[in-house]
Structure 1
Amino acid sequence: MGSKFPPVDMPIDAKVKTRLTEQDILADPLLNKGTAFTEEERAELGLHGLLPPNVMTLEEQVSRRMEALRGLPTDFDRYVMLRELQDSNETLYYAVITQHIEEMLPVIYTPTVGAGCQRFSHIYRKPRGLFLSYPHKGLIRKILANPRFDNIEAIVVTDGERILGLGDQGAGGMGIPIGKMALYTACGGLHPATTLPITLDVGTDNQELLADPLYIGWRHARIRGAEYDEFIDEFVSAVKERWPHVLLQWEDFAKNNASRLLEKYRDTLCTFNDDVQGTAAVASGTLLAAINVTGVPVTEQRVVILGGGSAGCGIASLIQNIMVEAGLSAEEAASRFYVVGRAGLMIEGKTDLAKLEPFQRRYVQKATAIEGWDKENDQPSMMDVIKNAKPTVLIGVSGQAGSFTEAMVREMAKHVARPVIFPLSNPTANSEARPADLMAWTEGRVIIGTGSPFPPIERNGRAFKVDQTNNSYIFPGVGAAALALKIPRITDRLFMAAAKSLAELSPARADAEANLLPPVCKLRDVARAVAIGVGKQAIADGQIAPISDAEMAAKIDAKMWEPVYPHVFLAK
């Protein structure tokens, strides 16, 4: 959340002046270099004796940390160690995760961050980010006015109600904004001093948390209705007033709030919801990459989505827009989506439209669409939909582990040469299917993208890495573009551009046997390419003035911070 006391100069340049005392310097995660303080710095800052005498390089420190991390028994232990490192030495923390992003991504984010949220109160050590609690309503402007937040450019905010597939985690949901901000820096290059994770603590309905004597949040049932909306409005108004050009990302709000809040505020400031738009963009980009393999045009896809919430309908909306751009009418494109909720297919005459949010109603199938279907019930089940619609694509955002059964997958594979199946629910334990099972049930013909990382599978007699269809392929680049190019609004057209930019990077474009997505170790390169694609779309849409490709790339590159130590010296 920035320094305890703001240094005289931002610690972004090669040199940093400070008035902090010796102990405060070592306690400041943005200034602390540990054993990497040089002899000159130690003498000037009064650090001799407070550190062991051997001066180490950043690379040596990274090696030591990696040795310690790899020696721990579980990823959760590694998660805790990395969080403590982040709170003591941010440059070293980001050097570790950027140099070893493929190894560290499952630790700092999905799936391990889920356990981090569930046990957040028990591993809490130091303040990071802001907890804006409902009892402090009326004080938000005063809290945000603190000078330590003067340099903030990007915010990720949650209310903790729908954390991954784990449900209400209350104040423990802070693990998600902390993790997403870390990925903004590691992948998108945002300087950590400019990022701020925020949790809006409006209570929790999780009885286990309320009964936990160590729970750190506000012990109260969730505030809802007008009180909730007034609190959110105070927050957004205060943010806009404090930082008129800030990037605000909504994260893990429940479906009845996620799309509603996005629609309410999307034209108020530079904002987006990653669960709705980021998930949609990465799923769409991965599907476009899969088309290079299947050869089935986007206009001929038949898409079944298990999970009719904001994420599922967000995916449908973006793919529908891509279909329309490719030549279908909006109605024709919408008819190609079969959204299945708890009660079955969303269908006219059986689904209670009054209980649906506006974004869901667009994907209620017409009653005529299922005339003549062979089905067990009046409201078709998931299996009924697969038997009759014969989908080319199956997407899971249900949070229900194992909900893509063997019978369903084998039925799908009867009718499609190369079934595309994306079990996207997080964490790993909530995935709709395991990749190895999908391979077995389709005789190796399936094309897979998962939300969380899985071990390699065997394909054509050799190990094959499963594509992780993770939002980290999208949101860091979108954020980098918004800030570097000063894009005023994040529109759905920008996310379509991000999806297309990701698809253009697909190794499968050149080799149908290759992966759909670039390797995780290339996430910084992906963020740069996505940022450029988003920037070009912003120019085409008239959001920003035209600039050359070279100038755009230079602005984006200049925004990408590298984790290297500055020279720290005392202000005179």
Structure 2
Amino acid sequence: MENAADGREIDLLVVTDAEGILGIGDWGVQGVDIAVGKLMVYTAAAGIDPSHVLPVSIDAGTDRQSLLDDPAYLGNRQPRERGETFFNFVDKFVKTAQSLFPEMYLHFEDFGRSTATKILNTYKADWPTFNDDIQGTGIVVTAAVLGALAITGEDIKDQVYLTYGAGSAGTGIANRVLAEFMQQGLSEEEARQRFYMVDKQGLLFDDDETLTDEQRPFARSRAEFEHPEALTNLEAVVKAVHPTVLVGTSTNPGSFTKEIVEEMTANTPHPKIFPLSNPTRLHEAMPADIIKWSDGKALVAAGVPVDPVTYSGVTFEIGQANNMLVYPGLGLGTIVSQARILSDGMISAAAHALGGMVDASQSGAPVLPPVSSLREMSERVAIAVAKEAVAEGINRKSMPDVEAAVKNAEWIPEY
């Protein structure tokens, strides 16, 4: 890392082991391209100076046999290191990076289900650390929920939230939305009563010994249901719990069926349905179908760009729940304020800044602002995040004028 930095001050480091790339899976050392791409978005969207960033690949091996068999593969030709050996290496990497780059914002990308949350939880309490797959999507979905509620006039505390797909993305999103329920006045116990999670085995129950540490807090008791043995598929769970918000991170295409959408529409005036799996071939449902099946009542966000949908004379703009709406501004605000950590308050500020850009007066308005407003969004998020850092007293840099500090930090490609 020291050689790669070549004397440069590094403000932002994106690191990946490329075990869990969405839509690809394990991509080995080649996953460094994702880290490079993320840094490009940081620069294009938020104006982070590209001379102060560094992409890093942790080559822990790969479990993709086709890569191990490929003579052109550049990575270590071995199965992935697991357990203590892997976590010790990550810890050595983090401590070295902290020593070399003491003002670094550390972004973890595409780590696997079994490692991502543990790594984030290990370092987030004492360093400005971010996991895009866990926190980034969670912030965007929280913003989408807030945007939808701005359109409908409903209260977040009245919502019932159902996750379909209980991997690190699904649980991370649910944790972020849960935190928003609590910030709006519910106790943790009250908030958790409004959250349900479905995975391959159906509704998650607390007597399931296969649950991960991230899934277990969302597991329900069988005693809550008259026929828990029947709750083995998404449709049965929707009929039993009557969700108002349905979020898909399952990569199970077509799983949000006509029957499920109609069931939700029968139980809530405006179902919020977010099929987030991507690429398009993995979508739980296409937005045009959701709009049609709900008779134009559903509020939809998708994980990929989707053309507007016209139904019954109304053109519905479909918000894209893409992490790039939030992570560039979140990083810029954290870097500019030199925050000691990335706090829950800063994350919530980012979600509210994004959700607050929705035009609730517009017929067919999207629940998220369009990607075409990315630079404006990023600046707005950065200002909100930096202001929250100052309000919490965790900024290491004096900022008498936060807006000016953010604007002055934005790099402009002038040569």
TM-score, normalised relative to structure 2: 0.95
For residues 4 and 15 of structure 2, the distance between their equivalents in structure 1, rounded to whole angstroms, comes to: 18
Please name the residue that 1:271 is paired with: 129
Please name the residue that 1:538 is paired with: 389
For residues 462 and 443 of structure 1, the distance between their equivalents in structure 2, rounded to whole angstroms, comes to: 11
For residues 95 and 15 of structure 2, the distance between their equivalents in structure 1, rounded to whole angstroms, comes to: 14
For residues 296 and 367 of structure 1, the distance between their equivalents in structure 2, rounded to whole angstroms, comes to: 30
The question of whether the paired residues in 1 share the 8 Å contact of 2:126 and 2:340 is answered with no
Amino acid at match of 1:295: G
The question of whether the paired residues in 2 share the 8 Å contact of 1:204 and 1:210 is answered with yes
Q: Deviation string for 1:477-517 (max 9, x for gaps)?
A: 11101111111111222111110111111122x33532222
For residues 147 and 495 of structure 1, the distance between their equivalents in structure 2, rounded to whole angstroms, comes to: 29
Deviation at residue 226 of structure 1 after TM alignment: 1.5
Please name the residue that 1:365 is paired with: 220
The question of whether the paired residues in 2 share the 8 Å contact of 1:507 and 1:517 is answered with no
Structure 1: runs of 5+ lacking an equivalent: 1-142, 566-572
For residues 458 and 146 of structure 1, the distance between their equivalents in structure 2, rounded to whole angstroms, comes to: 51
Amino acid at match of 1:322: E
SS in 1 for 2:15: strand
| Structure 2 residue 165 is the aligned partner of structure 1 residue 307 | yes
The question of whether the paired residues in 2 share the 8 Å contact of 1:457 and 1:464 is answered with yes
Structure 2: runs of 5+ lacking an equivalent: none
Aligned length: 415
Equivalent of residue 457 in structure 1, options 309, 314, 328: 309
Q: Deviation string for 1:57-81 (max 9, x for gaps)?
A: xxxxxxxxxxxxxxxxxxxxxxxxx
SS in 2 for 1:359: coil
| Structure 2 residue 8 is the aligned partner of structure 1 residue 156 | no
Between the aligned residues of both structures, percent identity stands at: 37
Task: Map residues 169-180 of structure 1 onto 2, 5 A cutoff.
Answer: 169-180=27-38
Please name the residue that 1:260 is paired with: 118
Amino acid at match of 1:563: P
The question of whether the paired residues in 1 share the 8 Å contact of 2:307 and 2:317 is answered with yes
The question of whether the paired residues in 1 share the 8 Å contact of 2:339 and 2:396 is answered with no
| Structure 2 residue 80 is the aligned partner of structure 1 residue 222 | yes
For residues 271 and 384 of structure 1, the distance between their equivalents in structure 2, rounded to whole angstroms, comes to: 39
Equivalent of residue 412 in structure 1, options 259, 264, 270: 264
> Bigger radius of gyration, 1 or 2?
1
SS in 2 for 1:410: helix
Deviation at residue 255 of structure 1 after TM alignment: 1.5
The question of whether the paired residues in 1 share the 8 Å contact of 2:68 and 2:77 is answered with yes
| Structure 2 residue 406 is the aligned partner of structure 1 residue 556 | yes
Task: Map residues 239-250 of structure 1 onto 2, 5 A cutoff.
Answer: 239-250=97-108
Q: Deviation string for 1:303-361 (max 9, x for gaps)?
A: 11011122212222122122122221111101111111111111133x22xx3333322
For residues 21 and 7 of structure 2, the distance between their equivalents in structure 1, rounded to whole angstroms, comes to: 26
Amino acid at match of 1:188: A
The question of whether the paired residues in 1 share the 8 Å contact of 2:320 and 2:370 is answered with no
For residues 149 and 444 of structure 1, the distance between their equivalents in structure 2, rounded to whole angstroms, comes to: 57
For residues 430 and 252 of structure 1, the distance between their equivalents in structure 2, rounded to whole angstroms, comes to: 18
The question of whether the paired residues in 1 share the 8 Å contact of 2:27 and 2:64 is answered with yes
For residues 7 and 303 of structure 2, the distance between their equivalents in structure 1, rounded to whole angstroms, comes to: 33
Deviation at residue 197 of structure 1 after TM alignment: 1.4
Please name the residue that 1:430 is paired with: 282
Task: Map residues 492-511 of structure 1 onto 2, 5 A cutoff.
Answer: 492-508=344-360, 510-511=361-362
Deviation at residue 427 of structure 1 after TM alignment: 2.1
Task: Map residues 72-471 of structure 1 onto 2, 5 A cutoff.
Answer: 143-146=1-4, 148=6, 150-349=8-207, 351-352=208-209, 355-370=210-225, 372-373=226-227, 377-461=229-313, 463-471=315-323
Amino acid at match of 1:532: I
SS in 1 for 2:58: strand
When the two chains are superposed, the root-mean-square deviation of aligned CA atoms in Å is: 1.9
The question of whether the paired residues in 1 share the 8 Å contact of 2:292 and 2:311 is answered with no
SS in 2 for 1:358: coil
